[in-house]
Structure 1
């Protein structure tokens, strides 16, 4: 059961674009009076929002492909050992680096930077189940959404396979489960919005129970790619055009809400589905056009490198580098755009170090500690 696959330069470009949007949005925290307040607010929310949404649908597209292969190769539901193997591999890939940053925030950084109270909930991914009211590691909300997705979707697929495999084909079982999963968490979000009218960002966008459908939209595109590759190849440009149109509508919708300071119930419930669908529809086009978009080897190598370190970069830039740059002793000597330049360079250097010294070696441990042989 092989888990190695050549890198797709187009999807690497998507990941690099996503982390670049997130980095740019958080750079506004260092600009203070060097940027118009309205422009700062727009860049902070628009860059952060669409950057993370790109991460979500891309994760669903990639992880969905792995899960579809896993379930497609078994006549009924996969054995428990296969599911446990999948979870172990995901945890070895994501949890060690996450826990490293959590522990740093609880120990060294808590004493040095004095930036937040210690939050033990982070150890079990419980900090934002229904709302994101926490200060430590503010970027960790999206990691929590991903981890709960990795846990719940395989369980849903396993239940669907056990109940439906004898009655219909495996492709239909998988798509029925994905559609039901998306419907469930979309309905939960709408119900929460109507009942509670929470804040659109910390009360909806960053809460696990109202956002799990975002990643599943990427899985749905992965299902179409896996079972209907010819149809998808013929229509990839049309789907990408539709995806761009939906994404632009979402961009304009959110921009208007931010400028007018009025976020409607319709936006709170519908913006997230609109953005997820729009961005997910572009993924087949990205996957098939990486070489054309980056014909130069050095450019592809740089994009691949940024893609490789993106996870460490995501975790360290906001929890470590930004607080460091905002220390009074640093701000006295470094402000404005020079501070942004140092922030970017320091974030890239630290993420590269963490990736090669810790993240990659820990990820490789899954080959040592996980072994599942399909009968």
Structure 2
């Protein structure tokens, strides 16, 4: 759809229209889905709402719209950075509070995803204007941001389920501290593996993409 729209329209308007259609369509579909299926457990919510791609496509479109505004209206994007940051903070606060099973409502199943994505998008103007800093903490944050996608791919199934969790459950330690050991192992194993994956897979692939362009 996005290819068709950008072919028929100027890219400036085709991208905007495609992003808007995906955002509205995915949110409307999520609302319609909720009318026919209302979860009763967090496992149901996780499996039937959070992990369904068609119900979550709008999350990507908030980023596309943010990039569109930053590209075509750079000055306005930066002028509004502090008000938008406040809006983003409020939006994220709405989905950051602890909830219970009684909170599996229309907001949690439909609009909480919109609030999370909108909140992050609204914080981008301020964050994109940050200057480069030096020192241990900025370097660590930069490194984590670079390997974040590799970390996302590895930490769950590969490291947690197959390495950290089996190790933590078999160690001769008190049951109370095994979750802490598992968490420590998760970080200690995931970070170097993600760094290797970024260096020897992501970077070469991105270099190949640049050469093909």
TM-score (norm 1): 0.50
Distance 1:222-1:298 versus aligned 2 partners, 3 A rule: same
Alignment correspondent of 1:337? 180
- Structure number having the greater helix percentage: 2
Alignment correspondent of 2:156? 318
Aligned partner of 1:212 among 40, 51, 57: 57
Deviation of 1:339 after TM superposition, in Å, equals 3.5
Q: Which moved more, 1:352-361 or 1:267-276?
A: 352-361
Q: Hey, what's the Cα distance between the residues in 2 that align with 1:275 and 1:181?
A: 17
Q: Hey, what's the Cα distance between the residues in 2 that align with 1:203 and 1:289?
A: 38
Deviation of 1:242 after TM superposition, in Å, equals 0.7
Q: Hey, what's the Cα distance between the residues in 1 that align with 2:34 and 2:131?
A: 39
Distance 1:223-1:330 versus aligned 2 partners, 3 A rule: same
Q: Hey, what's the Cα distance between the residues in 1 that align with 2:169 and 2:107?
A: 43
Aligned partner of 2:136 among 287, 290, 298: 298
Q: Hey, what's the Cα distance between the residues in 1 that align with 2:68 and 2:181?
A: 46
Deviation of 1:161 after TM superposition, in Å, equals 3.0
Q: Hey, what's the Cα distance between the residues in 1 that align with 2:74 and 2:210?
A: 30
Aligned partner of 1:354 among 197, 201, 205: 197
Q: Which structure ranks higher in relative contact order (CA pairs < 8 Å, sequence separation ≥ 6)?
A: 1
Deviation of 1:364 after TM superposition, in Å, equals 2.9
Distance 1:356-1:330 versus aligned 2 partners, 3 A rule: farther
Post-superposition, which runs of at least 4 consecutive aligned residues in structure 1 deviate over 6 A? none
SS across alignment from 2:197: helix
| Contact persistence 2:59–2:113 (CA under 8 A) | yes
Is 1:307 aligned with 2:145? yes
Deviation of 1:263 after TM superposition, in Å, equals 0.4
Q: Hey, what's the Cα distance between the residues in 2 that align with 1:241 and 1:326?
A: 39
Aligned residues: 204
* Residues 56-102 of structure 1: per-residue CA shift (max 9 Å, x gap): xxxxxxxxxxxxxxxxxxxxxxxxxxxxxxxxxxxxxxxxxxxxxxx
Distance 1:325-1:157 versus aligned 2 partners, 3 A rule: closer
Q: Hey, what's the Cα distance between the residues in 2 that align with 1:173 and 1:329?
A: 51
Alignment correspondent of 2:166? 327
Q: Which moved more, 1:349-358 or 1:314-323?
A: 349-358
Superposition RMSD in Å: 2.3
| Contact persistence 1:325–1:331 (CA under 8 A) | no
Q: Which runs of 5+ in 2 are unaligned?
A: none
Deviation of 1:317 after TM superposition, in Å, equals 1.6
Q: Which runs of 5+ in 1 are unaligned?
A: 1-155
Deviation of 1:347 after TM superposition, in Å, equals 1.3
SS across alignment from 1:342: helix
Alignment correspondent of 1:245? 90
Deviation of 1:216 after TM superposition, in Å, equals 0.4
Q: Hey, what's the Cα distance between the residues in 1 that align with 2:59 and 2:168?
A: 41
Deviation of 1:328 after TM superposition, in Å, equals 6.3
Distance 1:309-1:164 versus aligned 2 partners, 3 A rule: closer
Distance 1:273-1:231 versus aligned 2 partners, 3 A rule: same
